[in-house]
Amino acid sequence: MNNILQGCFRMDPSERLSCAQLIQHAYFEQSRVFENYEQLLEEHSRRMRAEKHKMNRQKNQRARVSQVGAVSGCLSE
């Protein structure tokens, strides 16, 4: 693990490990970090879309309530 950190923190960019070199490092091979990457990414994207949809729905609901309040205020004058 120590050599991977040293490879990442080299001052000279030409001496740093590349992304291709990093993913071939034993640390990542042993940890199997990339096996479920696509599944994890899809789950994250699904959660983010759901959260965005929820926020848009709440925003639209607040806008409707505001419009109803404005209309009822005009009617009572």
- Residue 6 shares a structural domain with residue 31: yes
- The DSSP secondary structure of the chain, one letter per residue, reads -HHHHHHHS-SSGGGSPPHHHHHTSHHHHHHTTTTTHHHHHHHHHHHHHHHHHHHHHHHHHHHHHHHHHHHHHHHH-
**23 vs 18: which has the higher pLDDT:** 18
Model pLDDT for residues 42-52, shown as the tens digit of each residue: 999 999 999 99
**Torsion sign across C-alpha atoms 26, 31, 32, 36:** negative
- Residue 12 shares a structural domain with residue 46: no
Domain that holds residue 61: 38-77
pTM surpassing 0.75?
Answer: no
- Residue 46 shares a structural domain with residue 73: yes
Model pLDDT for residues 25-65, shown as the tens digit of each residue: 887 777 776 677 778 889 999 999 999 999 999 998 888 87
